Structure 1
Amino acid sequence: MSINYLLDENLPPLYKVQLLRRQSDLIVWMIGEPGVPPTGTLDPEILLWCEINNFILVTNNRSSMPVHLAEHLAQGHYIPGIFVLRPRAEIGQVLDDLILIALAGNENEYQDRIVHIPLS
């Protein structure tokens, strides 16, 4: 598996717990944990961290993330991907899609894109 996830600090920790319970070999880190950006880190800095460390950001930030991504790309950077949770997304659907993407997705498939989860 080559897809790694960085969960936004505003997502409930239950997402990480359940992802690892269902698929223990996933690499799932959460903002604020050791080795990742601390809580309160600005989104542009998080995007840089994801680029350097090859992590897809999973967030519920639907409003400003498209602006931050556009600025990031305009500066000549890239991002492995950003997954934005749809409003009222059920956790089970989100988990299923994240696991499916990790198992079947190509690591470059989501580069420089925002994808809304669940996929359908």
Structure 2
Amino acid sequence: MIIRYQADADLNQAIVTGVLRREPTINFQTAFAARLAGVKDPEVLAIAAQQQRILVSHDRKTMPSEFATFITSNQSSGVIIVSRKLSVEVVIEELVLIWAVSSAEEWVNRIAKLPL
């Protein structure tokens, strides 16, 4: 199955815009479209999992532990934690590369940090 992304509310919107400009066929839902503003991490993870989307977030503080708790009783489509120190261009390149060379099944219950 093809990878689909979900932007967390904290993700820099320029990343989503840049990914879609670079590869318009990528399905990358914005946090606004998913109505994630103010939604707690466990619910964000549930929404992404329900829609079979890899969650892309800048949240290095709480998301990894929330993800660990979430996958004890649920299946996740995966999480990618993006360092704010990376340039937007590098993040775009890595997300497009992940989309191009891996499948959604490879990301089930997996968490990764960018840069890879």
Q: Structure 1 length normalisation: TM-score?
A: 0.89
Structure 1, unaligned stretches of length 5 or more?
none
CA distance in 1, matches of 2:39, 2:84: 23
CA distance in 1, matches of 2:78, 2:71: 12
| 1:48-59 alignment runs, 5 A limit | 48-59=46-57
Closer/same/farther in 2, CA of residues 87 and 21 from structure 1, 3 Å limit: closer
Q: Does 1:98 find its partner at 2:95?
A: yes
The one of 83, 86, 109 aligned to 1:86: 83
Q: Give the conservation status (yes or no) of the 8 Å contact 1:37–1:49.
A: no
Give the AA of the match of 1:108.
E
User: Which residue is equivalent to 2:5?
Assistant: 5
Q: Give the conservation status (yes or no) of the 8 Å contact 1:37–1:46.
A: no
Q: What value does the CA root-mean-square deviation take over the aligned residues?
A: 1.3
Higher relative contact order (CA 8 A, sep 6+): 2
Give the AA of the match of 1:62.
R
| 1:1-120 alignment runs, 5 A limit | 2-33=2-33, 36-74=34-72, 76-119=73-116
1:62-86 Cα deviation digits (max 9, x unpaired): 0111211121112x20111100012
CA distance in 1, matches of 2:112, 2:46: 18
Q: What secondary structure sits across from 2:67 in the alignment?
A: helix
Q: Give the conservation status (yes or no) of the 8 Å contact 1:54–1:80.
A: yes
- Structure 1 stretches of at least 4 aligned residues deviating more than 2 Å after TM superposition: none
1:73-101 Cα deviation digits (max 9, x unpaired): 12x20111100012411111111110011
Give the structure with the larger helix fraction.
2
